[in-house]
Amino acid sequence: MNSTAATVIAEPVVTRVGDVCFDALRQLLDRGGLRLHAVADGAAIPGSFWGEPEAGIIGTDVYARADTPVHSLLHEACHLLVLPPERRALVHTDATDSVAEEDATCYLQIVLAEAIPGVGSLQLMHDMDAWGYTYRLGSTRAWFEQDAEDARAWLLQRGLLDANGRATI
């Protein structure tokens, strides 16, 4: 008997938007001048660069479903937060302009995770590793703690972090 079995690759177990308080996420983004929109289960996510279940961005709007990873929502939101307001308005799906902005985005999403009940920076870094983020030191935490001084300086220079490394939004 000849049968072919399909290989199913399961998505990594990470913290999803549906696992946390949506209002806490909405309030966090609101502090940065962004609007969070809940997308119905199974519906297409507007402005999603990587496709579902990844978050999407259009202008100052961030879109996510319950199955969207929190790290994805924060990452896309932080892409907008690192941009000057006049550039945010022009964003549709892809906001990265440089490696420096990408690094700043990754750093800021880790810092902002502390403001989300039930998540925190350590969990977010674990989720980023599980999802496949890669850094030359081997893990998100090693990058954040030992190799991200340029991203931190970039955020400090633009007033997105205070001298203690806390987000100013």
| CA–CA gap between residue 18 and residue 162 (Å, rounded) | 30
* The pLDDT of residue 2 is above 70: no
Q: What is the pLDDT of residues 116-129, one digit of tens each?
A: 999 999 999 999 99
**What is the pLDDT averaged over residues 45-51?**
95
| CA–CA gap between residue 54 and residue 114 (Å, rounded) | 21
Q: What is the pLDDT of residues 80-139, one digit of tens each?
A: 999 998 899 899 998 877 999 999 999 999 999 999 999 999 999 999 999 999 998 999
**What is the pLDDT averaged over residues 34-45?**
97
Residue among 148, 144, 169, 147 nearest 158 (CA): 169
The model's pTM is 0.92
* Contact by Cβ (8 Å): 57, 77: yes
| pLDDT for residue 96 | 75
| CA–CA gap between residue 35 and residue 48 (Å, rounded) | 15
| pLDDT for residue 116 | 97
| CA–CA gap between residue 17 and residue 23 (Å, rounded) | 10
- Per-residue CA distances from 103 to 8, 53, 106, 150 (Å): 32, 22, 5, 8
| CA–CA gap between residue 16 and residue 108 (Å, rounded) | 18
* The pLDDT of residue 10 is above 90: no
Q: What is the pLDDT of residues 54-75, one digit of tens each?
A: 999 999 999 999 999 999 999 9
